[in-house]
C-alpha cells in the first residue's frame, strides 16, 4: 500500500498491556510522532488509514530457524532474504535468526552470514541479532538436535565463539549442568542472555545458576525433565522462579493449552515470550521432508522425527498469538506484550521497538477482529 511518508492510522490500539479505543497514530519518517486521542478538526490534512480491527506493535520472533522451506543455516544470502521478506506476512517485524546444534565451523559460517546481512538495509523484517541454540546442550534431551555435535567446551571455546559473533549474539541456549556457572557469568558479562534448554538440570542447578546470569528458559517444558512432585527439574524452576523469562511454543502440540494457561496465571504476561521455533515447514504439505539436515514428518501441523519426537514446529508467530488468546485464556493485550515488548527487551531494542509510543519505530501489525494479519508496517512502510 502506498500512503506516503507522513500519515495517520486510526483505530483500536493494543500496547503496554492495555486496549485504547479510537486512537490516532501519527507516523512520520518511519517513527511514531503522536499517539493518542485527537479531534478530527485538530488534525493536519494528512492521509489517514482506518483500521477496522486492532493496531499492535509488530511481533518479534526470538526463536525461529526458518520459514517457507528455508533455514537460516542453509548458509546462503538468498535463503536468508526469503525468510526475512516472508516474515511480515505473519506480522513479524523483527527476529533473531536461530541456529541449531552443528559443528563449530558451521556455526561460525552462520554467524558470518548474519554479520553480513546485518550491515544491509532491506525492506523485510529487521534482523535484531542471533540466538544460538546449542551446541552446548545435554544429549539426554537432544530432541531433534544432533548429539554428535554436543560438546563440553573450555571457556576459551566459548570466548572464541562470542568474539566471532562480534556483538550480534543476543541469546544462547545451553545446559547449565554441563557448562557450569563460570561460563554463564562470562556470557552475562558480555550482555548475552543465557537460557536453559535441552537440559537435564535440576531445580537446584537452575537456582544456583541464576545469580551468575541465567535468566531464561528455552521452549518451556520441552526438552527438559518433566514436572514431578518429588524430583524437581528445570520445568519446575520455570514455574517457581517468578523472574525467569519463559519461551512458549503455543501450538497445542508442544504444550497443552491448559498448561500454558497455568504458566500464564503463575508468571504473568511480563515473564512469558511467545516464539514460533519454526523450522521452515510452515507451508510444506503433509508428508516426509528433508529440512535442517534431517528427515521430518509433518501431519496436521505437527512436525516429528521418524521416532515420533517433536522436531521443532510449523508454527508462525501470528498463529501462536491466536492460539494463546483463543485457547489458553490469555487476554489479547497480554498476548501482544508476550509477542512484542518482551522479545524486544531481550533483543535490547525495547527503547524503540515493542510499543506504540512517541519516538518508537513505526513497526506495527494490523490485525482483523479475528486476529488475522491484515497489514504489517516496518519503519512506516506498508510491507504486507
Percent of the chain with pLDDT over 90: 81
Judge whether 251 and 313 are in contact, CB under 8 Å. yes
pLDDT at 313 > cutoff 60: yes
The pairing of beta strand 381-382 with beta strand 70-71: unpaired
Judge whether 252 and 315 are in contact, CB under 8 Å. no
Radius of gyration, CA atoms only, the chain: 20
3-state secondary structure of 143: coil
pLDDT at 116 > cutoff 90: yes
Report pLDDT for 1.
Answer: 65
Q: Is 16 a catalytic residue?
A: no
pLDDT at 312 > cutoff 90: no
Confidence of residue 144 (pLDDT cuts 50, 70, 90): confident
Length of the chain: 384
Report pLDDT for 39.
Answer: 56
Alpha carbon separation from 172 to 156, 198, 262, 335 (Å, rounded): 16, 12, 26, 24
Question: Which one of the listed residues 277, 318, 361, 363 is annotated catalytic?
Answer: 277
Highest mean pLDDT among 2-6, 153-157, 364-368: 364-368
Q: Cβ–Cβ contacts within 10 Å for residue 43, how many?
A: 14
- Which of 21, 56, 53, 11 has the alpha carbon at shortest distance from 337? 56
Q: Which stretch of 82-86, 105-109, 361-365 has the lowest confidence by average pLDDT?
A: 105-109
pLDDT at 41 > cutoff 60: no
Digit-coded pLDDT (tens) for 211-230: 999 999 999 999 999 999 99
Digit-coded pLDDT (tens) for 253-291: 999 999 999 999 999 999 999 999 999 999 989 999 887
3-state secondary structure of 303: strand
Percent of the chain with pLDDT over 70: 98
- DSSP conformational letter for 99: -
Amino acid at each position: 500500500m502506498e500512503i506516503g511518508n507522513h500519515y495517520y492510522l486510526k483505530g483500536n490500539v493494543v500496547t503496554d498491556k492495555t486496549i485504547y479505543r479510537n486512537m490516532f497514530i501519527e507516523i512520520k519518517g518511519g517513527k511514531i510522532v503522536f499517539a493518542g486521542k485527537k479531534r478530527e478538526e485538530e488534525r493536519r490534512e494528512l492521509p489517514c488509514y482506518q483500521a477496522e480491527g486492532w493496531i499492535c506493535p509488530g511481533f518479534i520472533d526470538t526463536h525461529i530457524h526458518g520459514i517457507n522451506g528455508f533455514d537460516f543455516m542453509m548458509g546462503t544470502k538468498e535463503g536468508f532474504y526469503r525468510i526475512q521478506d516472508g516474515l511480515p506476512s505473519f506480522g513479524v517485524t523483527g527476529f533473531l535468526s536461530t541456529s541449531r546444534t552443528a559443528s563449530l565451523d558451521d556455526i561460525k559460517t552462520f554467524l558470518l552470514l548474519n554479520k553480513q546481512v546485518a550491515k544491509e538495509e532491506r525492506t523485510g523484517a529487521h534482523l535484531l541479532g542471533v540466538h544460538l541454540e546449542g551446541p552446548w546442550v545435554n544429549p539426554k534431551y537432544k530432541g531433534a538436535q544432533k548429539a554428535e555435535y554436543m560438546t563440553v567446551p573450555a571457556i576459551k571455546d566459548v570466548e572464541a565463539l562470542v568474539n566471532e559473533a562480534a556483538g550480534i549474539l543476543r541469546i544462547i541456549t545451553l545446559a547449565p549442568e554441563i557448562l557450569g556457572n563460570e561460563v554463564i557469568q562470562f556470557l552475562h558479562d558480555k550482555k548475552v542472555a543465557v537460557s536453559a534448554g535441552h537440559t537435564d538440570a535440576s531445580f537446584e542447578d537452575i537456582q544456583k545458576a541464576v545469580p551468575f546470569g541465567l535468566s531464561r528458559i528455552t521452549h518451556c517444558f520441552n526438552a527438559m525433565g518433566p514436572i514431578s512432585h518429588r524430583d524437581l527439574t528445570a520445568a519446575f524452576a520455570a514455574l517457581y522462579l517468578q523472574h525467569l523469562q519463559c519461551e512458549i511454543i503455543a501450538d497445542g502440540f508442544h504444550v497443552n493449552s491448559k498448561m500454558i494457561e497455568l504458566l500464564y496465571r503463575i508468571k504473568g504476561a511480563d515473564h512469558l515470550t511467545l516464539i514460533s521455533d519454526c523450522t521452515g515447514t510452515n507451508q510444506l504439505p503433509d508428508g516426509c521432508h528433508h529440512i535442517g539436515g534431517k528427515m521430518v514428518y509433518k501431519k496436521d501441523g505437527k512436525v516429528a522425527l521418524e521416532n515420533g519426537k517433536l522436531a521443532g514446529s510449523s508454527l508462525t508467530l501470528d498463529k501462536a498469538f491466536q492460539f494463546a488468546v483463543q485457547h489458553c485464556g490469555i487476554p489479547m493485550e497480554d498476548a501482544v506484550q508476550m509477542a512484542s515488548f518482551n522479545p524486544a527487551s531481550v533483543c535490547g531494542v525495547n527503547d524503540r521497538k515493542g510499543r506504540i509510543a512517541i519516538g518508537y519505530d513505526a513497526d506495527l501489525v494490523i490485525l482483523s477482529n479475528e486476529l488475522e494479519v491484515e497489514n504489517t508496517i516496518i519503519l512506516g512502510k506498508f510491507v504486507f
